[in-house]
Structure formats: C-alpha cells, structure tokens
Amino acid sequence: MVVMPDTLVALLKDWHSVPVATTGADGMPNVAAKSVMVRDPETIVWGELYFMQTYENLMRHPVALCVWERTPPFTAYQVKGRVVIHRDDEVTAALDRKVWAGHPEEFATRTEGMAAVVLTVEEIYDQTPRLEAAGKRIA
C-alpha cells in the first residue's frame, strides 16, 4: 500500500472537488470533478451520482486525480490507483451520512442511489511546476 504524505492529505481535505481522469473502452480520456474525502492515508472516497461515462470507465481501468495548492509555491500531486465501487452497503451508507453532514436538504435527491467509489492509492507523483520535481514518482 502507498501512504499519502500529510501535505497531500491536507490538500485533498481542503478542496471541495478535484479533477478525476478515467479512460473509456475506446481509449478516449474523460475528466470529471469529484468531491473527494480522505478515508485514511491510503484511501480516497467519493460518491458517484450519475452512472454515466465516468462510472463505466471506473469499472474498467485505473483512475488518476490531481490536486494542487492555490497559492505559490504551488505544490501539486497526481494520485493513481484502482477503485472498488460499492452500492447499497455499509460503505455507501457511511459516505451518504458524510455527504449529508453540513449540506442543505436539496442534496437529498442527489444522494439517493449513490454509489461509493473507494480508491486505493497505488502511485503518487509530484506535479509541482519545477524541473527537478514535476513528474517524478514519490510513492
């Protein structure tokens, strides 16, 4: 297992949504914003609401996401891994409770039938915009 550094965990907790990249069966890339939560230093979780292109891609291929600081020095990370999709189980129920916490009632229709996507971190890359850092695998 790969453990995320504290700075990466902090960034993921700070962001509301991050870009998540997937690949279709035809090889075409797809990017969608996902509201992620850090479950533990090796695991990222989000809710899948629409069950369209991203959902189909998640069932076939590994996934990548990125996150970065909004102010200089712009530390940035790319995370890669495989996902397990949960529906109608305790993992989904726990995520549903977290999504509800602090959100207004209009979210009710968005979480009904939601799937929980559990990403196990397999690789982490430095994406900080510096020649000596960008693109280097750090875990």
Domain ranges of the chain: 6-126
> Superfamily for 6-126?
Electron Transport, Fmn-binding Protein; Chain A (2.30.110.10)
Distance between CA atoms of residues 132 and 111, nearest Å:
43
Q: How confident is the model at residue 22 (pLDDT cuts 50, 70, 90)?
A: very high
34-69 tens-digit pLDDT: 989 899 999 999 988 888 899 999 988 999 999 999
Distance between CA atoms of residues 21 and 10, nearest Å:
21
Distance between CA atoms of residues 54 and 48, nearest Å:
9
Q: Which pLDDT belongs to residue 105?
A: 61
Sheet arrangement for strand 18-23: 29-34, 18-23, 63-68, 76-86, 115-126, 43-48, 36-40
Q: Which pLDDT belongs to residue 73?
A: 83
Q: Which pLDDT belongs to residue 72?
A: 87
